[in-house]
Amino acid sequence: MEAAGKEEISVEDEAVDKNIFKDCSKIAFYRRQKQQLSRRATYQASLDSATTGKDSTKFRIINETTKVPLLVEVYGIEGNIFRLKINEETPLKPRYEVPDVLTSKPSTVRLISCAGDADSLVLADGKGDLKCHITANPFKIDLVSEEEVVMSINSLGQLYFEHLQIPLKQRATKENKEDTSVDASQEDQEDLGLWEEKFGKFVDVKVNGPASIGLDFSLHGFEHLYGIPQHAESHQLKNTSDGDAYRLYNLDVYGYKIHDKMGIYGSVPYLLAHKPGRTLGIFWLNASETLVEINTEPAVKYTLTQMGPVAAKQKVRCRTDVHWMSESGIIDVFLLTGPTPSDVFGQYSYLTGTQAMPPLFSLGYHQCRWNYEDEQDVKAVDAGFDEHDIPYDVMWLDIEHTEGKRYFTWDKKRFPNPRRMQELLRSKNRKLVVISDPHIKIDPDYSVYVKAKEQGFFVRNHEGGDFEGVCWPGLSSYLDFTNPKVREWYSGLFMFSAYQGSTDILYIWNDMNEPSVFRGPELTMQKNAIHHGNWEHRELHNIYGFYQQMATAEGLIQRSKGKERPFVLTRSFFAGSQKYGAVWTGDNTAEWSYLKISIPMLLTLSITGISFCGADVGGFVGNPEAELLVRWYQAGAYQPFFRGHATMNTKRREPWLFGEENTQLIREAIRQRYALLPYWYSLFYRAHVAAQPVMRPLWIEFPEELDTFGVEDEYMLGSALLVHPVTEPKASTVDVFLPGSNEVWYDSKTFALWEGARTVKIPVALDTIPVFQRGGSIVPVKTTIGKSTGCMTDSPYGLRVALSTKAR
């Protein structure tokens, strides 16, 4: 759904204008941290006071300038995970700690103190092959595996912690004034945004003053990093420069720019580092606005270890430094020590959960646009698929199906008999998905609004009234999904008795849940809005959409009394969103470059736990030429979530509207998807039970091969299929890298065979989808294709067996 309505058309036209969205230079906590860190105030640990309990080891650290203590807690967690928490020892009031993301309280492993004195402390897990070396002055932690330092924390001295303060006007004495972690004149306070921050016409008043945090991690021997979605960027994370950090801040960015580090719809504050022999993960559990800087120092062949005639030469390994900065909250970070990619996936899923097992129909093809006009339009489009012998599973309805953008209602003129419409779809084993956004139209005659208002279920403004913002229905209030009672009530709205006209084939799409607020700062909610527990929006902005998807999935489970799996697509997401359904890459554009960037975007989502992901086929914004549309269907057929979608002012683009030749090509791509349904289903099962991504970058399957580490134009589906979508216009060949010196690969169409560890120039026509099966693999397929997945239950199965080098 796009960022603005007709009354907001100027916003739509300039959606990526820096006057609307911030860059780092406009973010006050970023400026403060950069300025203060240049002064190099260090922390010192009081290790002689360290205490080791059943769950954790605790000690104090003190900033040498402010003398204010922080409490450090180090936990060992089952499965080679360390957790580091840093908080104020005695904050003025509690600081926000992200709830509900961790699947349960992780089982801790008692850390054993191996050695220690006033200057250092060594903690080891039970097995002893992983150790934390803590140095007192300056405070630093080294993570040691098999006697090798793999990660250092605060080795660059970028630990930063702004203490909650009494507002300036409440301070009675000069002593209080001096007791601040940021010493600044009145002019500096305005520039640094300590108590209020201006952006355009908006002023963010901060009742708690500055509260940002930061910490650096040095990864030794690593120069390949991945993760921290969502950005329209390359799969491998790039070095950043001042003012160019990766931003994690969920925003509604219509037609977002590609190769840009600005935050878009979702945030997963989790990255992976990989090198031959070791994979690591860093999961920074913080839901406030977060910035990540990355700097790789390449290996130096030799350096002199000492001066003078006996100077020795020593090889210096490469190192990548990662600097995390968040606006508020506490430092709560999980260090996933691998050692393999598979181990890291397992460690992360142990903390945040695995991908929900999707219902089979949701792995078929989905047909959507903003908007199918009425019941007759739905009937005609549905019939069009049958007439042209194209399988599909799900019809989608956008906001126009409702009565004046009131969710859980139907437009009585356009959709007078929604049950009959659903029965038509049911007769062909098809489903319906409708949209349900978090904003609720302010209307005293709208029962959802009235009931939510009566019970105080809306986010409040900083003055205590209901927060009001403009979105699709006009003036709206926003449900406070962070409140468990709101989630419970919202889940109940999906019951058949509450949602008139719904049936058990109706599923849900959560959109605009960043949350999108058309006239708000950066088109979102003011940071000083108030949520359940009296927490400010700034503390939990990035987790708002996560909570809506959680409540929606729970509602669909309750509706079926736990007998059916839910299907919920969300635009906004956070770490752990995989537990509740699917995600897509938002309002992309009908251009070749967006088709190309969809691959690294989906790979990044996949390795950070969210396997059920896709990009709008054809591009949401604009009108794709026929060749681009065909190539996008061919790519989408081999990506986990497969949906065609288009915005309101585009030309109709159902698969049969581009001439018989293109209809045939699209039909064939979709049929290939349906033939592979048993394989897709088994891959999702592996994602669900073992956290193995469905769509995988080559480096996961070939972790020792450097040549795979930067590849992002092709990928593995499971361990058996390599896919290289055609993403250039008028292509006659593609260069496909086939990894593995001991591997053989078979063209899935011609069965031509190639040995691995080489790049092969493959000729392509418009009907070519370059897909290769790995020698030694077996891929289950359906040998006949029906109108939908439900029509194929009794279709026969086949096995595609590819011989390995040993079997030939």
Phi (first) and psi of residue 99, to 5 degrees:
-95, 170
What residue segments make up the domains of the chain, in order of their start? 26-162+211-352
Q: Which residue has the higher pLDDT, 575 or 316?
A: 575
Per-residue confidence band for 501, with pLDDT thresholds at 50, 70 and 90: very high
pLDDT at 193 over 70: yes
Catalytic residue, from 12, 511, 522, 616: name it.
511
Mean local confidence (pLDDT), 41-52: 91
Q: Which 8-state DSSP code applies to residue 709?
A: T
pLDDT at 311: 53
pLDDT at 174: 44
Catalytic residue, from 88, 514, 522, 743: name it.
514
pLDDT at 183 over 80: no
pLDDT at 505: 98
Q: How does the average pLDDT of the chain come out, rounded?
A: 93
Residue 70 CA to residue 76 CA, distance in Å, equals 20
State the helix-helix crossing angle for 447-454 and 484-492, rounded to 10 degrees.
150
pLDDT at 19: 86
What percent of the chain is modeled with pLDDT above 70? 93
Residue 389 CA to residue 787 CA, distance in Å, equals 7
Threshold 0.85, pTM exceeds: yes
Q: Which residue has the higher pLDDT, 663 or 298?
A: 663
pLDDT at 352 over 50: yes
Lowest mean pLDDT among 102-116, 644-658, 743-757: 102-116
Task: Summarize pLDDT for 440-472 with one digit per residue, the tens.
Answer: 999 999 999 999 999 999 999 999 999 999 999
pLDDT at 186: 52
Could you tell me which residues come within 8 angstroms of residue 648 by beta carbon, excluding any fewer than 6 positions away? Answer: 2, 369, 370, 371
pLDDT at 301: 65
**Tokens describing residue 132:** 């934390």
What number of other Cβ atoms are within 10 A of residue 148's Cβ? Answer: 11
> Please, what CATH class does the domain formed by 26-162+211-352 belong to?
mainly beta
Radius of gyration of the chain, Cα coordinates, nearest whole angstrom? 27
Per-residue confidence band for 306, with pLDDT thresholds at 50, 70 and 90: low
Concerning whether 7 is annotated as a catalytic residue, the answer is: no
Concerning whether 443 is annotated as a catalytic residue, the answer is: no
Task: Summarize pLDDT for 769-802 with one digit per residue, the tens.
Answer: 999 999 999 999 999 999 999 999 999 999 999 9
Catalytic residue, from 587, 616, 654, 712: name it.
587
Q: Regarding beta strands 278-284 and 270-275, do their DSSP bridges make them parallel or antiparallel, or are they unpaired?
A: antiparallel
Concerning whether 714 is annotated as a catalytic residue, the answer is: no
pLDDT at 313 over 90: no
Residue 109 CA to residue 76 CA, distance in Å, equals 5
**C-beta separation of 786 from 393 below 8 A:** no
Task: Summarize pLDDT for 242-284 with one digit per residue, the tens.
Answer: 889 999 999 999 999 999 999 999 999 999 999 999 999 999 9
Mean local confidence (pLDDT), 314-339: 94
pLDDT at 104 over 90: no
pLDDT at 758: 97
CA atoms within 13 A on the CB side of 515: 34
